[in-house]
Amino acid sequence: MLNNMLDFIPKIPVAEGTKWFTEKITDYFSFLFEPIKEHFGNFMDFVSESLTAVPPVIIILLVAVLAFFISGKRLGLTVFSIVGLWFIYNQGLWEHLMSTFTLVLISSLLSIIIGVPIGILMSKSKTAEAIITPILDFMQTMPAFVYLIPAVAFFGIGMVPGIFASLIFATPPTVRFTNLGIRQVSSELVEASEAFGSTGSQKLFKVELPMAKATIMAGINQTVMLALSMVVIASMIGAPGLGREVLSALQRSNVGNGFVAGVGIVILAIIIDRVTQNLNKQK
Amino acid sequence: MPVIEAKQLSKVFGKNPKQALKMLDKGSSKEQILKETGNTVGVNRASFSVEAGEIFVIMGLSGSGKSTLVRLVNRLIEPTEGSLYIDGEDLAGMDKKSLRRVRREKLSMVFQKFGLFPFRTILENAEYGLEIQDVPKEERQKKAKEALEMVGLGGYLHQKPSQLSGGMQQRVGLARALANDPEVLLMDEAFSALDPLIRKEMQDELLDLQTTMKKTILFITHDLDEALRLGDRIALMKDGSIVQIGTPEEILVNPANDYVEKFVEDVDRSKVLTAQNIMKRPETVNMEKHGPRVALERMREEGLSSMFVTDSKRNLKGYITADDASEARKKEVGNLQDILKNDIPKVDKETPLNEIFDIIYDSPIPVAVVEEDKLVGIIVRGAVIAALAGEGEVNIGNA
């Protein structure tokens, strides 16, 4: 009897509907997706190839110098960067490293470009906050693999769908922290800025964003780390890089190769994390 | 024409402010309205006007609506009802652009917790008001520097606010407000976050500055001492309404109702009033210019039996008695040095009355009031007693 009650409504075709919807979008917007796939893909290849064309020793030195100055002239991060990057080179993973780095760099930049303005909008409007917050929750809790499916439908395989999936997965922290950072600016400072007759944009750029900078940077740091993790997952849809090495090691049950590529990802993650965190600490 | 004029200015926070206003008309209390409608009455029909060059103090306990009231004056809070005129222009009905213009040109605000931008240097903080008006960099830096020098911070231009003490930070707040050269200064509990000594110093400094700059100042405080020291006139607030407006003396002597009376009855006059409140202008002789003959002549003119002696810089040197001076004249002594007495009873101008009492009781001559060794006034016995009794000439507010 009770079971009958639950079965009263037949299965709602959510999966079918989503599939249909995705197909329609793919059809209707192919005029948009196709050129993005082509031009953006070319651009990504260009960045990746340019990075690979630079002699590794120069990149290692540049990263070391950057790490040295950004960590306040301490040696720890510098030495770690040199040894770590050399190790990746030594293991023959340099090209993969450059691909992974390109993906992380581009997708993080896009996340920031998209995320910060959305965060500002949220901080200024309660309605916007009420609408966007659940969307962000959804974006972050949905298993990351799921984004790969429409990404392939829209953009085929390769770097571009990897960026797309990463954007969805990695943008929320930047949006949230931007919103939080601006809302946390003390009301007295906002009042001070208004009392002197600031316009809305003067208030935003001269007071709120500078005050929220540290919080926004913390969000960006998280976005970059999430982008890195997504870029690894995106190897499943053909994104090149260290992730693909891990994936192929998994498929061949090759513990050694898997471990080495994994260590490579860890090294990259640590360097990126420490560098972005220290960017934050600088006043 | 008054610089600031508020007419029936009201602010109700909540969803149904009109209903709350109607209830106020019928005489409901703030608590009743909160209970029945959920609306909070911030300010209830406040009317007052502030003349140019006046320090108008709004005083009340926390929750009395004084901070809301000052924010209605520059419309950081939108009034529910009533009008507010700045130089005859109604702020309440103004569009955003005109409001910005008035804020930029006429009103500057100083905040309780300073409201300084921590990521900007002291100079950049002081520049802010001019920067947002797109004043060219050189000009605005010049004006900001002048304002900082005025408050004694000329040497700290490139420090960050966090490197300065509280008192110095509030000086920056003041300089930032002054750099715009506004007509009106709104000071919201500006000195409340400072410790008592620094607070007094800042009050003195504000009064000093005011003698030269003659701004119209609306000063908010919960501290009666401060109100009495600074205010040309004081408005007392309770539960969002102004209960009395008057000079400090009027409020002390003629409290409008029980509330005000209760408020001021706790004021121990002997603690509130200080030497400078009851001192008289001193009659002195200058030992570098005058001899016993002149001194005697002046004592006779003023009907005094003794007189204080200073040098040309008004540094207090001692006193002479009429007897000694007359003796000296007979002996043809040419200067005052020889008959100078040094056992002068003296107090600082900040000394409260209760401490002066003992000194003056034992002293045969008036007490000298000094500021950094300079003679600024004298106190005679009668003045202390009159002040304690709440009578007589009390020069409150005049430092």
- CB contact under 8 Å between B119 and A206, yes or no, is no
Residue closest to A99 by CA, chosen among A222, A259, A235: A235
Q: Report the run of H or E that residue B347 belongs to, with start and end.
A: strand B346-348
Longest dimension (CA), chain B: 89
- Predicted-assembly ipTM surpassing the 0.90 threshold: no
- CB contact under 8 Å between A188 and B113, yes or no, is yes
Distance CA B365, CA B379 (A): 9
- pLDDT tens, residue order, chain B (399 aa): 899 999 999 999 988 888 888 888 888 888 888 888 888 899 999 999 999 999 999 998 888 899 999 999 999 999 999 999 999 999 888 999 999 999 999 999 999 999 999 999 999 999 999 999 999 999 999 999 999 998 888 888 999 999 999 889 999 999 999 998 999 999 999 999 888 888 988 999 999 999 988 999 999 999 888 998 899 999 999 888 999 999 887 887 778 888 787 777 766 666 667 787 788 888 888 887 888 888 888 888 888 888 888 888 888 888 888 888 888 888 877 777 778 888 888 888 878 777 887 788 778 788 888 888 888 888 887 777 777 665 555 554 433
A249: tokens are 């090691």
Distance CA A122, CA A214 (A): 18
Cβ neighbour number for residue B195 with a 10 Å cutoff: 11
Question: Could you identify the residue written with the tokens 């020889």?
Answer: B338
- CB contact under 8 Å between A196 and B101, yes or no, is no
Distance CA A77, CA B114 (A): 39
Nearest chain B Cα distance for residue A199, angstroms: 8
What pLDDT, in 10s, does the model give residues B111-125?
999 999 999 999 999
Domains of chain A (ranges plus CATH)? Answer: 16-53+91-281 (1.10.3720.10)
Distance CA B152, CA B205 (A): 10
Distance CA A85, CA A106 (A): 20
Question: Where do the domains of chain B lie?
Answer: 276-388
Beta-bridge partner residues of B49: B5
- CB contact under 8 Å between B109 and A195, yes or no, is yes
Which positions in chain A touch B102 (Cβ < 8 Å)? 197
What pLDDT, in 10s, does the model give residues B135-167?
999 999 999 999 999 888 888 899 999 999 988
In which residue ranges of chain A is pLDDT below 50?
Answer: 283
- Phi/psi at B8 (nearest 5 deg)? 50, 40
The proportion of chain B whose per-residue pLDDT surpasses 70, expressed as a percent, equals 95
Contact B157, B145 (CB under 8 A): yes
What pLDDT, in 10s, does the model give residues B278-305?
888 888 888 878 888 888 888 888 888 8
Question: Could you identify the residue written with the tokens 């979008």?
Answer: A25
Q: Report the run of H or E that residue B218 belongs to, with start and end.
A: strand B216-221
Q: b/e map of B26-61 (b: 16 or more CB within 10 Å)?
A: eebebeebbeebebbbbbbbbebbbeeebbbbbbbe
Residue B94, CA atoms < 13 Å, CB-side half-sphere: 24
Q: Report the run of H or E that residue B316 belongs to, with start and end.
A: strand B316-321
Instruction: Assign a CATH topology to domain B276-388.
Output: CBS-domain (3.10.580)
Distance CA B226, CA B272 (A): 10
Cβ neighbour number for residue A277 with a 10 Å cutoff: 14
What is residue B159's DSSP assignment? S
Which positions in chain A touch B117 (Cβ < 8 Å)? 189, 192, 206-207, 210-211
